[in-house]
Structure 1
Amino acid sequence: MRAALLPVARAASLGLSFWLLLSWLDRGAVAKELKFVTLVFRHGDRSPIETFPNDPIKESSWPQGFGQLTQLGMEQHYELGQYIRKRYRKFLNESYKPEQVYIQSTDIDRTLMSAMTTLAGLFPPEGVSIWNPSLPWQPIPVHTLSLSEDRDFIETLPTFTGCHTQDLFGMWTKVYDPLFCESIHNFTLPSWATEDTMIKLKELSELSILSIYGIHKQKEKSRLQGGVLVREILKHMKSAAQPSNHRKLVMYSAHDTTVSGLQMALEVYNGILPPYASCHIMELYLEKGGYFVEMYYRNETQHEPYPLTLPGCTPSCPLTEFAKLVAPVIPQDWSTECMTTSNDQVLRVVLAVAFCLVSGVLVVLLFTLLRHGPCWHRDPYRNI
């Protein structure tokens, strides 16, 4: 009889252990609570902003004209919206709540449309939100504010393109960018636009981004560019840590230079142009009475976002420590700081560095820095 009771006792013991395990897991889940999310994403696939004079593909070849979000771009952002819904299904309400969600975009058609399409995937109308049974969409407000190769390669480009510029950023917008857009949409590229040429142009375009943010006085330039956005995000996080806060999600629809500028300021930039619909994710958690920041980068749809770690901190970085580490890149008075860099100062830097460099491409890069300076790319987004 006693032997018969052993399996029962063992089963009861296992049941108690299982219950204790579930309780422990439940406490662990409750211990880490998501409190706030910031998303900064690039617009989706678009038509070229402009092109070189000899390009046989003219603006009339693009249904909406130059610089507009394409249907492929719409698909990319609808998918992004669906992913955000999936990732935060336990955090966000099923229906849109204006007190919980805020969306801001640059005042450019493609970023505004990207934001709207993302919201269509994130908040499809359900229940009382359905206002037209035949239209699975609801209007949601989007807020905005008025807006490495040698020199021989560079010098041969005007012959093929008819575009006489040796400005790296101009070369990107007028040569590489239109060719890239045309290749995505299966246009026939000029015979000189070989795979090797496109690789060289891509490397130059990435160098143009570094000319804006990197190489010389990276911290100083990060303050004047990505630091402004860091300040805004940090302000929202600190507000989210207050008991009276109701906002859960802030989204910024912007450009590749916005994403790369933010990542450069945070020292997590991988040196590659952010692809269409790429998204930098920042999450604020409450755990054991303290607030922690986690960052992720979604730059492809076939892979979960890659975790990012702020240098000097842990992957789950205490908010107080995060604020201390990013303080050097946050400008206190952007206008005043931007004015402190005179043309003479930039010229002295350019001449000093140019003396030490032998690469023709880098010399061109230095002239780009002289021409534009660290404050150049702060206001307009029209070329990105």
Structure 2
Amino acid sequence: MSIAKQSKCQKRRATKITVIVLAGVIFAVLTSYIAFGQKQSLHDSTIRMAAILFRHGEKNPTSFYPNDPHQNREWPGGPGALTARGSLQAFSLGQNLRLRYHSLLPTEGMYSQQNMFVRSSYAERCIMSAQAMLAGFMPPTESTSVLPFLWQPVPVTSVPRLDDTLIAQKKPCLKYDKMMKEIYSNPPPDLAQLDADNLELYHNLTEFTGKPIKTVLDVEFLYNTLKAEEDMGLQLPQWTVGVYPDRLVPLAEKSYTLFTDNDYMKRIRGGAFVGEVYNKMAAKVNKTLESSRNLFFYSGHDVTLVNVMNSMGILNQTSTLPDFSSALVFELHEMSNLPEQYEVKVVYYQDSKTDNPNVINVLNCPTPCDLESFKKSMSGLLFDSYDEVCENPEKC
């Protein structure tokens, strides 16, 4: 081998060694940084509790209209079922939640009933979304996994829809139900005007769909069906051009907010959940809650989120049509400069891709919003007895 070629080989060998050594150093630095960073975040975190309300992942259409060209196709799981992409969305949400709330997990990251509680709407898509989210939020390590793959079972509880005041919110409420019927039968001026302005649209939609479209609720159901079909890549009928989504969105948004149209309705549909969160936080501060319990998950629907957010007066900071796997999180923080003093922070995850949530300003509660100020700002929503505030007849 010539001296020139030998010199070139030596240079290449030296370059390779340098690259390998440099890569090793970078890897070691990054590993140390990540480990140190995690220890620091675990040590420095001021979060002491989190209550997380999230929407399920993508689902099949729940209902169809008579002229729907897609109603007879095969829908895996059936109408309203969680899709494969919906499971992945919930899983991704769990991974993103882990980035912010991993310090609340036990050291080994394994489930413990003393550490957390998970509740879901009775709907299967919500239960399955909770399971997928938890798979992303708290995967075991290879050394702690008891199964031949990295997943651990976590219990998800639910109650029948007609007993649920928090998530499905279907428990009968005599006074509220009468009020809701009155809104549809005798619309308030703003809703009556909206219906009048869209009479021609309602008529055309009735002709196109083969289904009577008379109210914003009818439009909301139609919008949700079209949105689900569009999300799955299905071709929408030609008549939807110029109608969907632009003309339907404002009407669907109005339909969602009707459930919390006045202060009393906000109290029923939003107050039950806000009260749940406040009571958990107060118990945590007063040390009457299980000492290590600091994570509460609630798997629900888009209307659950809208009801809570509109009741709190923060809808303009979040979304009137929440995306799949969006989440509203109530955080309890110990003030770093005032030990044993606590404040409430609220953040919103727009969708399953969000890893840095938006900070929400709680109305009438300037930062720092301490726990008692939070209670005061939400006082119009809080109540002690659902049946009493609903004027439900006493059971014998």
TM-score calculated relative to the size of structure 2 = 0.74
* Separation of aligned partners in 2, 1:29 and 1:320: 26
Identity of aligned residues (%): 27
Does the 8 Å CA contact 1:95/1:125 hold for their aligned counterparts? Answer: yes
Give the structure 2 partner of residue 295 of structure 1.
346
Which runs of structure 2 are paired with 1:328-367 in the superposition (5 Å)?
Answer: 328-339=380-391
Give the structure 1 partner of residue 188 of structure 2.
none
Give the structure 1 partner of residue 269 of structure 2.
225
Give the structure 2 partner of residue 138 of structure 1.
152
Give the structure 2 partner of residue 152 of structure 1.
200
Does the 8 Å CA contact 1:40/1:279 hold for their aligned counterparts? Answer: yes
Which runs of structure 2 are paired with 1:161-200 in the superposition (5 Å)?
Answer: 161-173=209-221, 175-200=222-247
State the Cα distance separating 1:89 from its structure 2 match: 2.3
* Separation of aligned partners in 2, 1:306 and 1:315: 15
2:59 aligned with 1:61 = no
State the Cα distance separating 1:27 from its structure 2 match: 12
* Separation of aligned partners in 1, 2:126 and 2:382: 25
* Separation of aligned partners in 2, 1:299 and 1:153: 31
* Separation of aligned partners in 2, 1:110 and 1:75: 13
* Separation of aligned partners in 2, 1:184 and 1:295: 29
Residues 1:27 and 1:156: Cα distance change in structure 2 (over 3 Å):
closer
Secondary structure of the equivalent of 2:320?
Answer: coil
Which runs of structure 2 are paired with 1:65-84 in the superposition (5 Å)?
Answer: 65-84=78-97
State the Cα distance separating 1:29 from its structure 2 match: 9.9
Which runs of structure 2 are paired with 1:225-374 in the superposition (5 Å)?
Answer: 225-243=269-287, 245-270=291-316, 272-287=320-335, 288=338, 289-300=340-351, 301-302=353-354, 304-339=356-391
State the Cα distance separating 1:30 from its structure 2 match: 7.0
Which runs of structure 2 are paired with 1:82-121 in the superposition (5 Å)?
Answer: 82-93=95-106, 94-121=109-136
Secondary structure of the equivalent of 1:88?
Answer: helix
For residues 144-187 of structure 1, give each alpha carbon's deviation from its aligned partner in whole angstroms, at most 9, with x where no partner exists: 001165221112111000011313223322x1111111100111
Q: Which segments of 5 or more consecutive residues in structure 2 lack a partner in the other structure?
A: 1-38, 162-193
Secondary structure of the equivalent of 1:252?
Answer: strand
Secondary structure of the equivalent of 1:192?
Answer: helix
Alignment RMSD: 2.2
State the Cα distance separating 1:61 from its structure 2 match: 3.0
Give the structure 2 partner of residue 36 of structure 1.
49
Does the 8 Å CA contact 2:334/2:341 hold for their aligned counterparts? Answer: yes
Secondary structure of the equivalent of 2:77?
Answer: coil
2:255 aligned with 1:201 = no
For residues 311-367 of structure 1, give each alpha carbon's deviation from its aligned partner in whole angstroms, at most 9, with x where no partner exists: 111243100111111111113332233248xxxxxxxxxxxxxxxxxxxxxxxxxxx
Does the 8 Å CA contact 1:37/1:284 hold for their aligned counterparts? Answer: yes
Runs of 4+ in 1 over 3 A off after TM superposition: 26-32
For residues 243-276 of structure 1, give each alpha carbon's deviation from its aligned partner in whole angstroms, at most 9, with x where no partner exists: 4622110000001111111112211112521111
* Separation of aligned partners in 1, 2:236 and 2:361: 40
Does the 8 Å CA contact 2:344/2:374 hold for their aligned counterparts? Answer: yes
* Separation of aligned partners in 2, 1:277 and 1:66: 19
For residues 177-221 of structure 1, give each alpha carbon's deviation from its aligned partner in whole angstroms, at most 9, with x where no partner exists: 11111100111110001154321112211010122213xxx2211
Residues 1:32 and 1:67: Cα distance change in structure 2 (over 3 Å):
closer
TM-score calculated relative to the size of structure 1 = 0.76
Does the 8 Å CA contact 1:307/1:315 hold for their aligned counterparts? Answer: no
State the Cα distance separating 1:290 from its structure 2 match: 0.9
Does the 8 Å CA contact 1:59/1:66 hold for their aligned counterparts? Answer: no
* Separation of aligned partners in 1, 2:265 and 2:204: 32
Secondary structure of the equivalent of 1:37?
Answer: strand
State the Cα distance separating 1:141 from its structure 2 match: 0.2
State the Cα distance separating 1:303 from its structure 2 match: 5.8
Residues 1:45 and 1:102: Cα distance change in structure 2 (over 3 Å):
same
Q: Which segments of 5 or more consecutive residues in structure 1 lack a partner in the other structure?
A: 1-25, 341-384
Secondary structure of the equivalent of 2:364?
Answer: coil
Give the structure 1 partner of residue 183 of structure 2.
none
Secondary structure of the equivalent of 1:114?
Answer: helix
Secondary structure of the equivalent of 1:316?
Answer: coil
For residues 124-143 of structure 1, give each alpha carbon's deviation from its aligned partner in whole angstroms, at most 9, with x where no partner exists: 1225542222x222211001
* Separation of aligned partners in 2, 1:202 and 1:28: 41
Does the 8 Å CA contact 2:96/2:355 hold for their aligned counterparts? Answer: no
Residues 1:100 and 1:189: Cα distance change in structure 2 (over 3 Å):
same
State the Cα distance separating 1:302 from its structure 2 match: 4.6
Residues 1:249 and 1:29: Cα distance change in structure 2 (over 3 Å):
closer
For residues 99-141 of structure 1, give each alpha carbon's deviation from its aligned partner in whole angstroms, at most 9, with x where no partner exists: 11100001111000000000111111225542222x2222110
Residues 1:202 and 1:85: Cα distance change in structure 2 (over 3 Å):
same
* Separation of aligned partners in 1, 2:334 and 2:97: 20
* Separation of aligned partners in 1, 2:242 and 2:146: 50
